[in-house]
Structure 1
Amino acid sequence: MVRVRSIALGAMAVMLAGPLAAAPKPPAKAPAKVVPKPAPPKPKPGPDLNIMKTQVILDHLGFSPGVIDGKAGAGLKRAIAGFQKANGVIATGEIDKRTGAALDQYNTTQPVREIVLTDADLAGQFVGPIPKKEDAQAKLPVLGYSNPLEMLSERYHTTNAVLIALNSPDTPVTAGAKIKVPNVVTAGRDYPANLPEGYKQTLAGLNVDSSQPQADHLVVSKTDKTLSVYDAQDKLLAQFPVTTGSSHDPLPIGTWKIMVLDYNPKFHFNPKLFWDASPGEKSAMLPPGPNGPVGVVWMDLNKAHYGIHGTPVPENIGRTASHGCVRMTNWDAARLSLMVKAGTPAIFQP
């Protein structure tokens, strides 16, 4: 167990990103010309708290926008459309009068809450920057969070940049410090008794409520970039943003089923299965952890090498390609894992 000394949010973000680029050399001075100083750059706008409130409400209801960032984008539009479908409203992805009325019952929900960091928050296997090469990753004891900032970002369904924007770069990360976070805290922690204790801790650490609807079947839409959860009457229960395949590894269209759920899985890296593997790369068994290639859970399908799983880079969900699998944020994948079981059908559509 590693204890982390006090360090500011901004400094921790720099540690994650690596060294800053060297500053460009100043231009040569003009011999007889006064050049006015450029105006300082305008500060980037912070998260819109009204938008964040909508994201937080939809996240609680199971219509995930993915990363909660206080920005109007494709993820929020999909989440609104899912909520509309589930509530008998024409799915426009915009908050019209009927949608606003349906959401109004949750209007007392606050977008942000203040938490006090504890010693328990700052104690864990923080491993520093994750190596890019799989052979180096295989040498780590766990592919854990790089530092407490990354852990807090995933716990509150957001990113390092959003946490810094909600607070300030010099906010200390130390026991007793108060920080503002998206209000995704859930009360239910009564997880199924048959789950491994380590996975129960993972669920709690990702603010996944133990009370979840049970899926009859799943539908993954390549076009919409969504995974939808339905009951036996074909009622939409939940929806999550996903990344699905690529031109090299397209999503396998058809009806499949979940065979096994592997919690906090190890990952066998086989370069023969990856078209973009570098020449000479060797097979490696990667340790478990949220920064592993498949994140915190692997839902194996009855098609070899394909599954539904988490990711180490939540902000890329719905924006980048995958190797044919269905990729979700860790918190959404963990939540889905409580809705499904071995045998749950998964229908992959164009």
Structure 2
Amino acid sequence: MSFSRRFLLVSAAALGLAPAAWARDAKPAANALDFDAFNAADDSLALSQGAKSAAVARAQILLDRAWFSPGEIDGAFGQNMQRMVRAFQRSEGLKESGRIDQGTWAALRSASDAPLLARYTITEQDAAGPFEKTPADMAERAKMKALPYQSLGEMLGERFHVNPGYLKRLNPGVKIAAGSEIVVPNVRESKAPARLSQHLEIDKGERVLYVLDKDGQLAAGFPISIGNEDNDPLPLGTLTIKNAVDNPSFTFDPRLLKSAPQDAQKAEIAPGPNNPVGTIWLGLSKPHWGIHGTPDPSTVGHSETNGCIHLTNWDAERLAKVIKVGAKVEVQA
């Protein structure tokens, strides 16, 4: 059995596919992994919330590349994905079912024809880090000169928009280390939609941030976590982006946080991807509020925050590339 054929069978099991189906459709290549089988697998069946399969992973990659981010790519159809499917369907003039039917598959495929998986060789520079555990206590974090990634797996997960555990499932038996060739979602070359405007909408109930086009139509969307209504709620109405900071530091002020310990002291937390505001800060005209990244991408869209609007670091970085200071932010219930 060729290496590429063994890879397909192992990957099929890891991704929840029947090995027999992959063996039947696979076309072994002499000296390369055969990504065609993943791209050409049958996507005719509808997908809905609760599904877990390679087809879900394919749809997540396509949504991500269309700038309708599902959050972490993990092969599981959760709430974030359902929200983004509805948003994508709205942008394409399709019925907003939240299910991926044949029409939605066709629209996703037409938006991008690049391979869904790519191969990446981990470099010595990647593996060198630095990596350091992030303390839970803010006073201990304040002693650190930077808040880097905690592991190589975490870094690669953020780079390729994939849950670190799912990255391991994509690469069974492969050591995540310098020199290893790994399979990753092919998401890094996606381009921003050409029609994006400087007008954002935040849907508090749906937990989604939308980017509109110049005609006021939906052009991109990102899942968000947002502050609860008991702790300095975000008001409805129009705000603006007041400033933009790459790789920001964070001022921990317990007076502004109801959940802070009573004896907590004000502290300055150094920059880094595990900083509480992640790698990007877009400050809003409402004091102490901003749109920013987070060190916990798996929680985005699923949890409340102490304040502000949290995106995954990679979505915050994408947004910051196309949104300028002065952009309008419309907050809706």
Secondary structure in structure 2 of the residue aligned to 1:114: strand
Partner of 1:56: 61
Cα drift, residue 124 of structure 1: 2.7
Partner of 1:175: 178
Q: Which residue of 2 aligns with 1:123?
A: 128
TM-score relative to the length of structure 1: 0.77
Q: 1:237 aligns with which of 200, 219, 229?
A: 219
Q: Which has the higher helix share?
A: 2
Where in structure 1 are there 5+ consecutive unaligned residues?
1-42, 188-208
Describe the SS at the equivalent of 2:65. helix
- Offset of residue 108 of structure 1: 4.6
Over alpha carbons, which structure has the higher Rg?
1
Quick one: which amino acid aligns to residue 220 of structure 1? Answer: I
Moved more, 327-336 or 251-260: 251-260
Describe the shift of the 1:230–1:107 C-alpha distance in structure 2 as closer, same or farther (beyond 3 A).
closer
Q: What are the within-5 Å matches in structure 2 for residues 104-119 of structure 1? A: 104-105=109-110, 108-119=113-124
Q: Which SS does the other structure have where 2:153 is aligned?
A: helix
Identity %: 36
* 1:61 maps to amino acid: A
List gaps (5 residues or longer) in structure 2. 1-13, 18-51
What is the count of residue pairs matched by the alignment? 285
Secondary structure of the residue that 2:214 maps to in structure 1? Answer: coil
Q: Which has the higher contact order (CA 8 A, sep 6+)?
A: 1
State the partner residue of 1:331.
314
Please give the TM-score of this superposition, normalised by the length of structure 2. Answer: 0.80
**In structure 2, C-alpha distance between the alignment counterparts of 1:281 and 1:45, rounded to whole Å:** 46
Separation in structure 1 between the aligned mates of residue 320 and residue 195 of structure 2, nearest angstrom: 11
Q: Name the SS of the counterpart of 1:180 in structure 2.
A: strand
Decide whether the 8 Å contact of 1:267 with 1:292 is kept in 2.
yes
Cα distance 1:301–1:106, how it changes in 2: closer, same or farther (>3 A)? Answer: closer
Q: For the residues of structure 2 that align with 1:214 and 1:108, how far apart are their CA atoms?
A: 21
Aligned equivalents of 1:335 and 1:269: distance in 2?
26
* Partner residue in 1 for 2:24: none
Secondary structure of the 1:122 match is: helix
Cα 1:45–1:280 change in 2 (3 A) is farther
Inter-CA distance 212–317: structure 2 relative to 1 (3 Å threshold): farther
Give me the whole-angstrom Cα distance separating, in 2, the residues matched to 1:320 and 1:251: 16
| CA distance, structure 1, for counterparts of residue 293 and residue 196 of structure 2 | 19
Decide whether aligned partners of structure 1 residues 102 and 321 sit closer, same or farther in structure 2, where only a CA change above 3 A counts.
same
For residues 112 and 64 of structure 2, the distance between their equivalents in structure 1, rounded to whole angstroms, comes to 14
Q: Deviations over 1:24-81 (max 9, x none)?
A: xxxxxxxxxxxxxxxxxxx995962211111111111111111111111111111111
How far apart, CA to CA, are the structure 1 residues paired with 2:283 and 2:73?
27
2:256 counterpart letter in structure 1: L
Once the two structures are TM-superposed, the CA of residue 109 in structure 1 deviates from its matched residue by 4.2
Letter in 1 for 2:99: E
Q: Which moved more, 1:78-87 or 1:93-102?
A: 93-102
Say what the alpha-carbon RMSD is for the aligned residues: 2.0
AA aligned to 1:318 is G
Residue in 2 that maps onto 1:286: 269
